[in-house]
Chains A and B, each alone.
Chain A
Amino acid sequence: MRKTLRHAWIVARKDLLLEFRSRTAILSAVVFTALVLVIFEFGRDPTAIATLDLAPSILWVTFSFAAMLGLNRAFQAELENQALDGLLLAPVSRISLYWGKLLANLAFVAVVETVGLLLFTLFFNVPVGHILLPLVGVIALATTGFIAVGTLFSAMVIRTRFAELMLPVLLLPFLIPPLVGAVQVTAKLLAGRPLSEVGGWLRLLLAYDIVFVSLASILFPSTVTE
């Protein structure tokens, strides 16, 4: 187990260093996040729908599509010079490869979500300071679930043509449960309601994470083996 975690960390660190050096995906995702939030800010009629009613959906639509940009690049670096074959040839368990990729994707999306949350509070004038801790917890719960599934699908489609088109088509149906849960919990938090009112949604998010991280860890080896 220690070895698996160590290899996972080595893979994640390499991915993050590559992203830090190239900065292509992170910049696209941050710019995309800012653009979506600007469009929602100027495209909505605040007299028709209250900001607080719309804000949770806007936040999660932005997060999920920005995350998609990150997931699309997750295995791109492995195709360059066929590094993926090298990884598969190395005496490293496939699970540690998956966990490494998952960890790097989570770090990537965390950065995008941090920027997104700052811009969200700025554009929509929604105060989140008093609910920051539970809000971050919900974001972490929901993000872990859909990034777990997204990392698996990203590996599945990477050798196919139109991988960038295939990923959202495959992934979006699986995003429905965590997104619905996240929107519901975020809405309650922004409305100042206690977390006890959304216990069911929180349990669903937690169950989704456990099920899909486990399932994806089991299925990942067969998706990358020729």
Chain B
Amino acid sequence: MLWAEDLGHRYGAVRALDGISFSLTPGQTLAIFGPNGAGKTTLLKVLAGLLHPSRGRAHIEGGRHAVGWIGHQSQLYGHLSVLENLRFWASLYDVDPEGAVFARRATDLLGRLGLEALEHRLVRVLSRGQLQRAAIARALIHDPRVLLLDEPFTGLDRVAAGELRRLLAEEAAEGRVTVLVTHNVEEGVELATEIAFMRGGRFVQLGARGGRDAAAVAAAYREAVPGA
């Protein structure tokens, strides 16, 4: 479904990615933990096709149609309503915004995300938590099989972060492949089936989460990435 083989990327003299390889099958969620500058966002951008790798290859079954991106920026237009944003993004993914598929998907997502009452509200007046929920709806509106999540919990309070985790768990249960990058172990561990620790553009550890809880993963992370 998604694989990367010996990925490398440089920003001038700075090596942002160095020999990243992994593969994921439907239903798997890879949580990548690393400090700032470890190369996490660069890896997601290479996987999404926003950056060309300097070396190696990455592949997502279904190409760009299959990808949904949730970052700490919503990628929504402030002067459009939530629904207008969804219509715009859906149409770019060849989902007819006037069709039954869109109507069903939008109703389902807005309902699950608690945004029904806000669908006609302009995005620029939404709170941070509402904005993030709208961003999730935008990322899922075309029913992507692969979710790339770049620090999606940034700026959310505990309740909103909990809601986001619940929603992402539901999405993963539907067989999506998820790659989540964050510097906060507690936020990502619950969702993960696979875990990687990243430093200096490399995976210093990669494997199944197994039965480890957040504390065990955090301890392993501190050991693998000293000073994190």
Contact = CB atoms under 8 A, between A and B. Distances in A.
Do these two chains interact? yes
Interface of A: 7, 10, 14, 17-18, 21-22, 77, 80-83, 85-92, 225-226
B200 interface: no
Q: Which residue, A87, A90, A225, has most C-beta atoms of chain B within 10 A?
A: A90
Contacts of B75: 81-83, 85-86
Interface string B52-73: 1000000000011101010101
A77 B77 contact: yes
B50 A14 contact: no
B94 A91 contact: yes
Interface string B70-106: 0101111111100010001101111000000000000
B48 interface: yes
Q: Which residue, B63, B76, B138, has most C-beta atoms of chain A within 10 A?
A: B76
A71 to B, nearest CB: 19
B51 interface: yes
B121 interface: no
A89 B84 contact: no
Contacts of B79: 17-18, 21-22, 77
A81 B69 contact: no
Chain A binding surface, main DSSP class: helix
A14 B89 CA distance: 10
A226 B80 contact: no
B45 interface: yes
B35 interface: no
Contacts of B74: 81
Nearest to A18: B79
Contacts of B65: 91
A89 B66 CA distance: 11
Given A90-B64, A226-B51, A81 B92 contact: no
A226 B42 CA distance: 11
A82 B71 contact: yes
Given A90-B92, A91-B63, A14 B73 contact: no
Nearest to A13: B88
Contacts of B51: 226
B131 to A, nearest CB: 8
